[in-house]
Structure 1
């Protein structure tokens, strides 16, 4: 038996002149947050987002504001970084949001907390506040893709995102 294929959905969303464009992208060659930023550098637009969802376990948002900037990112669930290589790439350079209760426990296993990681303000100017984003991630029964759909709807690219997802 071979290794199970990890499937993820990744879309690049770009806005130019108030028009959104959505396209599915492959991330197999990405090994760092910087590499994910390069996927966005390959596109143009005033707003450039990369959204990732995998197995209903996590949602990730990567944003590039200008080619000279480092990408900003948000990961909905830190536990996903322990099981999913793509989530680990996103979480690698990010700080956990909230208190880390395991910080002083030397016997704790090396694992990520379930708290979100990264920049919760990543889509604030697109209609989803940090508080709303964190609340959606913490809400029981809300799937990661539901979080992405809600963000896209508020940003004005919900239809393009839904069309892409089919």
Structure 2
């Protein structure tokens, strides 16, 4: 698998519900350099409803992964990121979607499971609209998702720890 440069990873955070309370931890950027490593890292986390992994890359896009038992679900905020970034390409590979042509870079749209957090409080339509908001950076999108799910404070604390 190709790897992202550690410098390109803005942050990687895992969140999970444990005994009704949200927990979040920052992850080393090396845990998110490739999708297989990221999923393996997430599988080691506890959580009553699985865990959510968030990766922001180079202020360009985010990847969200939900691991719950044997089920793994993916969301890539911008499909066109796959033309430049190995991690985004790996998500498209997992989703069996083609990498868009570089000429299609104006076709920014999310790819993957927009219902990834519907059971936790954010509907697919709302998540899709958030991903389509070109005025927001990936870290801002992820912060809004975390707020909507109820894990905003824990998420912010973990991001602060990750970016130091």
Normalising by the smaller structure, the TM-score range is 0.7 to 0.9
Q: How many residues align?
A: 153
Residues 45, 27 of structure 1: alpha-carbon distance in 2 compared, 3 angstrom cutoff: same
Give me the whole-angstrom Cα distance separating, in 1, the residues matched to 2:6 and 2:16: 32
Secondary structure in 2 aligned to 1:128?
A: coil
Give me the whole-angstrom Cα distance separating, in 2, the residues matched to 1:13 and 1:144: 17
For residues 30-41 of structure 1, the aligned pairs below 5 Å read 33-41=35-43
Q: TM-score, normalised by structure 2?
A: 0.80
Residues 85, 109 of structure 1: alpha-carbon distance in 2 compared, 3 angstrom cutoff: closer
More helix by share: 2
Contact kept, 8 Å, 1:33 with 1:93, in 2: the verdict is: no
Residues 93, 32 of structure 1: alpha-carbon distance in 2 compared, 3 angstrom cutoff: farther
- Tell me whether 114-123 or 139-148 shows the greater mean CA deviation: 139-148
The CA RMSD measured in Å over matched residues stands at 2.7
Ranges in structure 1 where 5+ consecutive residues have no aligned partner: 103-107
Q: Highest CA radius of gyration, 1 or 2?
A: 1
Q: Give the match for residue 89 of structure 1.
A: 90
Contact kept, 8 Å, 1:95 with 1:118, in 2: the verdict is: no
Ranges in structure 2 where 5+ consecutive residues have no aligned partner: none
